[in-house]
Amino acid sequence: MKRLTIIIMALFALNAVQAQIFDPVKWTFAAKKTGKDEAVLFLKATIDNGWNIYSQHIGEGGPVPTSFNFTPSSDYQLVGKVLEPTPNKKFEKTFDMQVLYFSKEVVFQQKIKLKKGQTIVKGAVEFMVCNDQQCLPPDEKAFAITVK
């Protein structure tokens, strides 16, 4: 009877391991005031070794580009577009095209003009992550960045 119990527990444990969600990208968000009524938002992706996320500037037929959606608010105004560092570039057979990508870490930046001294900027980032063997379905992470 003990043996049967151990086998059943092992099967449940194996099933739990297989059901774990693969999450190779961790996002962190911060803000820094650069003036009385200006701030910069920092949207940082830390990417597990061997994985890549993609630039905001990917052509059709490629992987899902990283994109940012900011919830409209009367507390602030976006200034320009989300900036990104210079991405890496390579030909990916999977998509049969050159792709712009980031590995290990990337920090995107968005300038805002504040209409009041303190606010919370809400929104979401959508991104796709791939390694040399597979791509995971596009994912979305919500954020709420306090600007003081």
Which CATH number is 24-147 given? 2.60.40.1250
pLDDT tens digit sequence for 66-85 = 999 999 999 999 999 999 99
136 CB-contact burial (10 Å; exposed 0-12 / middle 13-18 / buried 19+): middle
pLDDT tens digit sequence for 8-19 = 333 333 343 344
pLDDT tens digit sequence for 120-135 = 999 999 999 999 999 9
Cβ neighbours of residue 44 closer than 8 Å, sequence gap 6 or more: 27, 28, 29, 30, 105, 106, 107, 108
Residue 43 token pair: 């949207």
- The residue ranges of every structural domain in the chain are 24-147
* The one-letter amino acid at 113: K
Length of the chain measured in residues: 148
Mean residue pLDDT across the chain: 88
- Output the CA torsion sign for 64, 70, 72, 78: negative
Supply the pLDDT for residue 99: 96
